């Protein structure tokens, strides 16, 4: 990701598969992906959930392959992807194959996963010890990147051991598929971004002063790891509802969120929400851009997805100025 701030949209599948009595279908997702490309979005994203029925989604890797075939230009990614749930060799092979299918349009937003009971149950169901999730994530990123760049790999880690292992095809993107890593509070997470990542995603760095502090912290760690003069690519993962009437944006955005997550508003204070007018959105995003923001992933808290995408691309993005260097 380079140049002016890039915009991506999160494509939901939860509502397409969890309603009783309706045959599962992803047609709406294909239509929204085509619309996102037509309107000028830079990337489309899906989420990653396995075995969590109240947060059920279609399999993210299968959906990425389908999205790659349904689009021609937009980048295709998963955020947050949970690599620790999967074999890093198999995941590296699948993602490299997807990169070839898409002709170099794959992105990853990798996460260690939040510390919540349903996440622990998900790890247990997939046969991965929950207490090992952070260490496995770091090893997985290192293994995947090496498999994408090297003919054969030898690796001796705490959780994975490889001897003369290689994969084909290698990705189209060189030197490797971009791996952005999420981090919001943990010093170890910031260090992981600094050591292993190609970019940083956050959904918890609010207000902008906290975003700026955390970004500088990651860059300081990167210096320690030998990544000098790294202008850290940085993205926010936020929930949007835009309207010329601020009160209507707030009302519709929170109603959508409560219905979608099936949680009371009091349980959703962790969401990074941007509910307001396009002017409100421009002012807020500009402050983040001035602090180093380079990408936005938008969860659209509205049933009118086209209108929200148009407002972001036509009323917000053109008014954002690049960060002064």
What's residue 1's pLDDT? 45
Tokens of 252: 């519709």
Q: What angle do CA 117, 123, 126 make, to 5 degrees?
A: 145
Give the CA distances from residue 240 to residues 102, 155, 189, 196, in Å, rounded to whole numbers and listed in that order: 28, 42, 26, 30
All residues at 6 or more sequence positions from 281 whose CB lies less than 8 Å from its CB, including other chains: 240, 242, 274, 312, 316
C-alpha 250/C-alpha 256 separation (Å) is: 10
Contacts of 65 (CB under 8 A, 6+ apart): 98, 101
- What contacts 144, CB < 8 A, 6 or more positions away? 83, 88, 91, 92, 95, 176, 177, 179
Residue 111 token pair: 């996460």
CA distance 299 to 132: 29
- pLDDT, tens digit only, all 325 positions of the chain: 445 899 999 998 777 666 666 777 889 999 999 999 999 999 999 999 876 656 677 899 999 999 999 999 999 999 999 999 999 999 999 999 999 999 999 999 999 988 888 889 889 989 999 999 999 999 999 999 999 999 999 999 999 999 999 999 999 999 999 999 999 999 999 999 999 999 999 998 899 999 999 999 999 999 999 999 999 999 999 999 999 999 999 999 999 999 988 889 999 998 999 999 999 999 999 999 999 999 999 999 999 999 999 999 999 999 999 998 7
């Amino acid at each position: 990701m380079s140049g002016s701030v890039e915009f991506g949209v999160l494509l939901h599948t939860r509502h397409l598969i969890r309603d009783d009595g309706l045959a599962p279908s992803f047609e709406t997702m294909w239509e929204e992906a085509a619309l996102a490309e037509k309107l000028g979005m830079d990337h489309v994203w899906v989420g990653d959930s396995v075995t969590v029925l109240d947060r059920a989604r279609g399999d993210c890797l299968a959906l990425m392959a389908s999205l790659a075939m349904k689009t021609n230009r937009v980048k295709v990614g998963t955020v947050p992807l949970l690599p620790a749930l999967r074999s890093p060799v198999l995941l590296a092979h699948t993602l490299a194959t997807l990169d070839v299918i898409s002709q170099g349009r794959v992105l990853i937003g990798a996460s260690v996963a939040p510390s919540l009971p349903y996440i622990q149950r998900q790890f247990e169901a997939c046969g991965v010890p929950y207490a090992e999730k952070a260490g496995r994530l770091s090893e997985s990123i290192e293994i995947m990147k090496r498999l994408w760049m090297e003919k054969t790999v030898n690796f001796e880690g705490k959780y994975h051991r490889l001897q003369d292992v290689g994969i084909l095809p290698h990705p189209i993107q060189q030197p490797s598929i971009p791996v952005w890593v999420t981090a919001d509070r943990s010093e170890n997470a910031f260090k992981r971004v600094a050591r292993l990542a190609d970019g940083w995603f956050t959904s918890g760095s609010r207000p902008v002063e906290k975003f700026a502090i955390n970004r500088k912290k990651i860059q300081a760690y990167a210096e320690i790891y030998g990544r000098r003069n790294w202008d850290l690519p940085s993205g926010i993962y936020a929930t949007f509802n835009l309207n010329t009437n601020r009160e209507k944006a707030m009302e519709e955005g929170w109603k959508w969120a409560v219905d979608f997550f099936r949680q009371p508003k009091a349980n959703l204070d962790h969401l990074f929400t941007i509910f307001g007018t396009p002017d409100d959105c421009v002012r807020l995003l500009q402050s983040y851009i001035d602090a180093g923001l380079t990408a936005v992933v938008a969860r659209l808290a509205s049933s009118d997805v086209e209108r929200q995408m148009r407002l972001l691309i036509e009323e917000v993005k053109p008014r954002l100025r690049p960060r002064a260097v």
